[in-house]
Amino acid sequence: MHAYAANVYTTVIEELMKGKQRKFIAVEQEFFRLWWDMVATDTQKQQVHQLLQEGRLEFVIGGQVMHDEAVTLIDDQILQLTEGHGFLYETFGFRPQFSWHVDPFGASATTPTLFALAGFNAHLISRIDYDLKADMQKNK
């Protein structure tokens, strides 16, 4: 595992434990899972459980990665989402409530449909046409 990825979660957990007002949202959990399996101490694992219970650490999407929308197959999208959700449910007993796709390349109707079928309560996007984004912000 790359050192910088290990340091991200070690540092995040340390900083979250310093104050109840601190929160962190994790999107893809592939690097988190590697940190959890290979780096995290028992104390850090207990802290993660505590932070999740308190709502100060949250996983959105919860897939292994934030899949690319332009060139991936639906089977691969479902597989990576299922694997990620399986890990989160088996390890922590929950599934993510929100989807988050702020930096995919391309856009498709498949992704929001897949996320609706996965039971997400809301879907956040960012990489869209500027005029469409401005119109959506104006007309909420």
Domain ranges of the chain: 1-59, 68-140
Residue 99: which of 122, 70, 77 has the closest Cα? Answer: 122
For the question of residue 103 being annotated catalytic, the response is yes
Mean pLDDT, rounded, for 45-71: 91
For residue range 13-48, what is the model confidence (pLDDT) as tens digits? 999 999 999 999 998 888 999 999 999 999 999 999
For residue range 80-106, what is the model confidence (pLDDT) as tens digits? 999 999 999 999 999 999 988 777 666
Residue 120: which of 80, 71, 70, 81 has the closest Cα? Answer: 81
What size, in residues, is the chain? 140
Place of tokens 């990576």: 80
The mean pLDDT of the chain is 89
Of the residues 37, 76, 103, 135, only one is catalytic, namely: 103
Residue that wins the pLDDT comparison between 106 and 72: 72
